[in-house]
Amino acid sequence: MTEKSFAIEGMSCASCAAHVEKAASKVEGISFASVNLATERLTISYDERKTSPGQVVDAVSRAGYKAIDDEKERRASRPETERLRKRLLWSLLFTIPLLILTMSAMAGARMPEFISPENRPLTFALLQLLLTTPVVITGRSFYITGTKTLFRGNPGMDTLVGLGTAAAYLYGIYATIRIAGGEAHYVHNLYYESAATIITLITTGRFLEARSKASAGSAIKQLLSLAPPLATVIRDGKEKTVPASKVKVDELVVVRPGERFPADGIVTEGTTSADESMLTGESTPVEKAAGSEVTGGSINLNGSVICRATRVGSETTLARIVRMMEDAQGSKAPIARMADRISGIFVPVVMALALLAGTAWFIGTGDFRLAFTVLISVLIIACPCALGLATPVAVMVGTGRGAQQGILVKSGEALETARKAKVVVLDKTGTVTTGILVVTDTIPVNGTGEMELIALAAAAESRSEHPVAKAVIRLAEQEGVTISGPDRFSALPGYGVEASVDGTHILAGSRRLMNERKVDTGEADIAAEELASRGKTIMYIAAKGKFKGVIAVADTIRPGSPGAVTELKSMGLEVMMITGDSINTARHIAGEAGIEKVVAGVLPGDKAGEIRKIHNSGKSVIMVGDGINDAPALATADVGIAIGSGTDVAIEAADVVLIKNDLQDVVRTLRLSHYTIRNIKQNLFWAFFYNILGIPVAMGLLHLFGGPLLNPMIAAAAMSFSSVSVVWNALRLRKIRL
């Protein structure tokens, strides 16, 4: 199956989104179709053998909307906010004098005789018509889209607004004709100001909504702005400035202080520090030297360096982050499905209620003006905009806030599911621990100095690729110990290594190796056994047949792991650790981290089975891991979280990616999930509450018991405010502290 996204034009409410989704889903070969009203995107999954994107475009067009290839739309960058601002200014230009004119007459203010409704009713009516017509023309999109969707059987918000304002405008023209025919009393039945004011208020609401939605999507815009437009590359021995998109893999790139790295790469020359805060949320500069990895979009702070590009264009970390965020912001949380189902039938029901209420009032009172007011008020107040925006805008802002903190949530579903978890399963190596072996203890014996012991071990291991050997060599380099290359070297699988360095015979390896070579290790046996019981790997060193001491190596716990485990427990979660290591090693690490439940000795392929066991017991599970062998478990869990330093396979399998190698970000992910879903629930409550309260009032329930009748202009203002308030509430997520 192939995935593709389209920008959708013409949507104005949740009902529109439901109709577009339904139209796309009916195309043969489409297995999945989802519309996000906040981002105005349609995402489909389709079988290329059965259909094509063009057929989807045609289906959306037949439904009354326009689908545009998402990539083309992104490049075009439609200035929706600017267009709405111009429409609003034109509407205000004519609506304000119209309101002054009509409100003055209603208030009984003294008016110039040539436009007085009592003395010159026709002039009064024609002036209103003259001021209203430009506003109606400015708001013509309501009528174009509303008519299309109505005749195709998919009425939406524009249909409601179009019907309401067209009815008011056309009735005003009818009244003007009757005035011209001598029936001056029709001057009190003009509805021009209602039509113009409703269009202006709803345009105001859409402008504020568009501007707020632009703020909601600012996280992606900020990330896109990190990519520098140009790069300096070395070609044919000369520096050359090229577009950053033209940098090739393995090409050398020169990055000077203050410039952004144009691609992911490895430093080959120079030293500097980099500001990676926009990608990781970590404000502390990161030191870079030869061999260090750099990330495209980060800032080179103080040194000129040359880097070899390893990932360019759409494969860079920055591009992948943007892609993940766009996918997340285009996705739906399960909580949105109820709102979608309601929105799909909402507009036809509202139209029926408006007609029913208007007819009932006319039959009951014979007052056409009253009935007409009720009809327009119901049509205008019941637009389901707030309902459609409640979930997607919160998901958009929530995922954007997470990205700023180095937490990449791939979907709205993952965001919602995370807060329901009961168990958090942590992989040991690379998740609870750093995944890098380091020397933790040195025990020299028989008069051997510590540096001498390290030098002997490093010299013997200098040709080995074993992780234990690398840990010893790293320590030697850090301590400034000179490492002599061996004259002879032999790897002894399962035992260790044997080497000859400057004529000195050295053994480095297990106790079994020492026993076979008749080396007495008695002086360190008790200490070595105690270290081994704490999960450490023990290396025995002998030179010229004489025992020199012991070096202990271990994978150390991440500094933030104990605190993260404590916080997870305080949230009421059960925390357990899973590993392929021995039970002694696992228990020691778990003890340091504060984890009581441990599953050890698990083969890589069996981790997913352990996750299924927990899931089958009725508990939802979060799995946190980083390796290739964690990928099946990450995919099996209700929510898979990949530590950012992990493999590409693990990151692809996960639902959430933590850019920083910090277990505290699992806690922050759960907080983000909690805050976002709480915000969505608030939005849905107010959206439903608004419609439940607003529709009966518009239908004249209060007036039935002697109360006021809802003015259509007030209905329009209330409808616009409900949509804007939902977006503003979602924007509060930008300020949450994780």
Q: Which residues carry out catalysis? A: 427
Buried b (16+ CB within 10 A) or exposed e, 480-503: ebebbebeebebeeebbbbbebee
* Residues 644/656, Cβ–Cβ less than 8 Å: no
* Enclosing H/E stretch for 508: strand 504-509
State the Cα–Cα distance between residues 163 and 18, nearest whole angstrom: 20
* Residues 646/660, Cβ–Cβ less than 8 Å: no
State the Cα–Cα distance between residues 16 and 343, nearest whole angstrom: 8
Nearest-10 crossing angle of helices 385-404, 712-731:
20
State the Cα–Cα distance between residues 376 and 16, nearest whole angstrom: 20
State the Cα–Cα distance between residues 547 and 302, nearest whole angstrom: 49
Q: Which of 76, 83, 67 is nearest to 33 (CA)?
A: 67
DSSP 637: S
Strands (E), 260-351: 264-269, 272-275, 286-288, 293-294, 299-300, 305-311
Q: Give the number of other Cβ atoms within 10 Å of residue 559's Cβ.
A: 11
* Residues 379/160, Cβ–Cβ less than 8 Å: yes
* Enclosing H/E stretch for 32: strand 30-36
* Residues 625/643, Cβ–Cβ less than 8 Å: yes
Cα–Cα distances (Å) from 62 to 140, 241, 516, in that order, read 20, 48, 83
Residue 9 C-alpha from the chain's centroid: 22
Q: Give the number of other Cβ atoms within 10 Å of residue 291's Cβ.
A: 8
State the Cα–Cα distance between residues 734 and 87, nearest whole angstrom: 29
* Residues 128/98, Cβ–Cβ less than 8 Å: yes
Reduced to 3 states, what is the DSSP secondary structure of residue 626?
coil
CA torsion 123→124→130→134, rounded to 10°?
180
Q: Which of 644, 605, 181 is nearest to 403 (CA)?
A: 644
Number of H helices, E strands in the chain: 27, 26
Q: Which of 546, 554, 531, 539 is nearest to 454 (CA)?
A: 539
Q: Which amino acid is at 58?
A: D
State the Cα–Cα distance between residues 721 and 680, nearest whole angstrom: 17
